[in-house]
């Protein structure tokens, strides 16, 4: 278990019986079996790539990364990894997203080049 605040990590790890623990992912990434990456979006790539290279499975929250370069590096690491890699798309099946997909698929919106949305 990795987190920003040592006391909080220690408390959660004790309650959940997690080991190893730390506040710096680089110090324990070689010891984990699974990395559930809940960190800030801008820093998903480095820990995910390191975990995949260390033979762990990785599950990231979205957005996956902020740059195409990071996405390509994560893709390569996942392709070559012994573990499994995944990303959460938890809004995929909610009605507004399904409706938007229906509009896009029907061609009613024309050719879509960019979408930006916010969902509460």
Q: What pLDDT is recorded for position 120?
A: 63
Question: d(Cα 6, Cα 2) in Å, to the nearest integer?
Answer: 9
Q: What pLDDT is recorded for position 19?
A: 86
87-115, pLDDT tens digit by residue?
A: 998 888 889 889 999 999 999 999 999 88
Helix axes 45-53, 68-79, angle to 10 degrees: 10
Q: What percent of the chain has pLDDT over 90?
A: 64
DSSP structure class, residue 61: P
Question: d(Cα 44, Cα 62) in Å, to the nearest integer?
Answer: 9
Question: Which residue ranges form the domains of the chain, and what is each CATH number?
Answer: 6-90 (3.40.50.720)
Taking residue 7's Cβ as centre, other Cβ atoms within 10 Å add up to 9
């Amino acid at each position: 278990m990795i987190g920003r605040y040592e006391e909080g990590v220690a408390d959660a790890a004790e309650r959940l019986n997690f080991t190893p623990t730390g506040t710096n992912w680089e110090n324990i990434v070689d010891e984990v079996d699974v990395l559930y990456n809940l960190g800030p979006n801008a820093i998903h790539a480095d820990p995910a790539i390191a975990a995949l290279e260390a033979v762990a499975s990785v599950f990231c929250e979205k957005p996956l990364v902020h740059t195409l370069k990071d996405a390509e590096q994560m893709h390569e690491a996942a392709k070559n990894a012994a573990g499994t890699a995944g990303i959460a798309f938890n809004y995929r099946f909610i009605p507004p997203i399904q409706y938007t997909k229906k509009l896009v698929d029907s061609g009613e919106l024309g050719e879509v080049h960019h979408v930006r949305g916010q969902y509460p």
